[in-house]
């Protein structure tokens, strides 16, 4: 089963949902702010993604900018970064899509086709 962690007003999440529906892929939607992944869940998602942990940060979000996270990030351990990401769902780049074995972060039609197509 595929799970999409998203934020309802997010246009990128809506594009990802549309793509999944068009491909006939059933998924469960999880509101990323109301049900932010735990540190353990996020660690698993990160390892499944083969991406650097910094790619999980929503760098265009207000919380990221207002908290000055760009300047703090280089000085944080991976454990501290995971803690920070789980402290506020708005810090997470979205959508995060996973089937428990593979995980994608953000949406591009090419990456979705490569991984989920």
Task: Give 37-82 pLDDT, tens digit per residue.
Answer: 999 999 999 999 999 999 999 999 999 999 999 999 999 999 999 9
Q: Where are the domains of the chain?
A: 2-116
- Return the pLDDT at 38: 97
The CATH superfamily of 2-116 is: Glutaredoxin (3.40.30.10)
Beta-bridged to residue 27, according to DSSP, are 2
Query: What is the pTM (predicted TM-score) of this model?
Result: 0.95
Instruction: Quote the mean pLDDT of the chain.
Output: 97
pLDDT in tens, 29-39: 999 999 999 99
pLDDT class for 114, splitting at 50, 70, 90? very high
Q: State residue 51's pLDDT score.
A: 97
Predicted confidence at residue 85, as pLDDT, reads: 98
HEC assignment per residue over the chain: CEEEEECCCCHHHHHHHHHHHHCCCCEEEEECCCCCCCHHHHHHHHHHHCCCHHHHECCCCHHHHHCCHHHHHHHCCHHHHHHHHHHCHHHECCCEEECCCCEEECCCHHHHHHHHC
Euclidean distance between CA atoms 112 and 66, whole angstroms: 31
């Amino acid at each position: 089963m595929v799970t999409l962690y998203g934020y309802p007003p997010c246009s990128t999440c809506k594009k990802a949902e549309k793509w999944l529906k068009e491909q006939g892929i059933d998924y469960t939607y999880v509101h990323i702010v109301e049900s932010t992944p735990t540190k353990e869940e996020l660690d698993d998602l990160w390892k499944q993604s083969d991406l650097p942990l910094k790619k999980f940060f929503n760098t265009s979000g207000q919380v990221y900018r207002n908290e000055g996270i760009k300047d703090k990030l280089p000085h944080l351990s991976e454990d501290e970064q995971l803690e920070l990401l789980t402290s506020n769902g708005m810090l997470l780049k979205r959508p995060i899509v996973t089937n428990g074995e593979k995980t994608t972060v953000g949406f591009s039609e090419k990456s979705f086709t490569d991984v989920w197509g």
